[in-house]
Amino acid sequence: MEKIVIKTSDSVSDILVGEGWEMVHELLPESGVAILTDENIYRIYGDKFPGFPVFQVRPGESSKKLRVVESLAGELLEAGIDRDGLILGIGGGVVCDLAGFLASIYMRGIRCAYVSASLLSQVDASTGGKNGVNLEGAKNVLGCFKQPEFVICDPLMLETLPEEEYYSGLAELIKTALIGDSKLFEFIENNHAGISRRDPGLLSMCISMAVNFKAAVVTEDEKETGLRRILNFGHTYGHAMEMFKSYRHGYAVAAGMELASGFSLSRGMITREEHERITGLLKSYGLLLSHDIPDDQITQLIMKDKKKSGNDINFVFLNGIGKAVAEKITVKEAAEFYIRSKPAK
């Protein structure tokens, strides 16, 4: 097991990679815990949960709504959870988002922790303290920063993921490699067979490399005022596709990364060879889906992005594989590149 520590101005968060998730029993207090999970996770693992009240939500983005948070808060009250309580999220990105968001507002803030059960969550969503819910087609527009006390990332839990969910998480792993770790990119390129069959040893290495990079970024910039913006690589176009096409998050981000890489190429920031390596890797894992957002809607969708400021947006470009930079451009520029990049009919 590897322990990666994220230290911010007012919190310490331990990310535990490679250990069996059942170790959570040893990390919890004797009382005052509520477990939040989804129906799929509970069906597979529920018989091994710690003996605390369990609240279930429906799997998927449809649960990331304020009315779900309000309902869960009522259940916490009925269960007697007070200001000394702790919410344990056991699940993927949606569950971790809900658990952290709820913990940040319930009784003005209680503790939280996660057992991260999806690849998307292990390499990205459960680490760093960002939590959010959606509002009328706007992704994560209501949110907060709340660091979990600990996160357990057990690669063996990934064996039970549906194929699409697994590969959706792989897209976020590739994103981390592209913005911050060229060695991780090469590792993913060179271990296609093992990663595809979900080899737990290989995945532990990948997850550790991704979390170490994200921990360094979050430690320097917890509230996303500078460096942390690079973690949004591929997300400007990705969130637009996720909302318009209802793609899984990782597949939408993969398409967004292909476009952002093309945008970087058009500016001379990466070479054609690097662009071909990027698109080739995404294609090799089956991550690139077709997309065609109408010209008159792409601007509206980008305008709903929470990274927008007035008519500008912080867009993430590549300066080579393993290096990224966030630059303020106009929403019009981002929309026009998308329109130019669509295949001719």
Beta pairing partners, 35: 54, 88
Mean pLDDT (the chain) is 95
Largest CA distance in the chain: 63
What is the arithmetic mean of pLDDT over 78-102? 97
What is the per-residue pLDDT for 154?
97
Contacts of 130 (CB under 8 A, 6+ apart): 100, 140, 143, 145, 224
* Overall average pLDDT of the 20-39 stretch: 97
Element (H, E) at 208: helix 200-220
Among the ranges given (7-11, 200-204, 255-259, 301-305), the one the predictor scored with the smallest mean pLDDT: 7-11
- pLDDT at res. 345: 56
pLDDT at position 344, please?
A: 60
Summarised one tens digit per residue, pLDDT across range 163-206 is: 999 999 999 999 999 999 999 999 999 999 999 999 999 999 99
- Cα angle, residue 61 at apex, residues 59 and 67 outer, rounded to 5°: 95
By the 10 Å C-beta count (0-12 exposed, 13-18 middle, 19+ buried), 268 is classed as exposed
β-strands 312-318, 308-309: how paired?
antiparallel
List the single range of 4-13, 85-94, 156-165, 336-345 with lowest mean pLDDT.
336-345
pLDDT of 305: 84
Predicted local distance difference test score (pLDDT) of residue 65: 95
Whether the domain at 2-160 and the domain at 163-341 fall into the same CATH topology: no
Residue 119 in this model has a pLDDT that exceeds 80: yes
Q: What is the pLDDT of residue 177?
A: 98
The reported pLDDT for the residue numbered 308 is: 84
CATH C-level class of 2-160 = alpha beta
Class for domain 163-341, per CATH?
Answer: mainly alpha
- Range in 119-128, 193-202, 267-276, 281-290 the model is least confident about: 119-128
Domain boundaries, the chain: 2-160, 163-341
Identify the pLDDT of residue 44: 98
Q: Which residues contact 159 (CB under 8 A, 6 or more apart)?
A: 198, 200
Looking at residue 223, what is its pLDDT?
A: 84
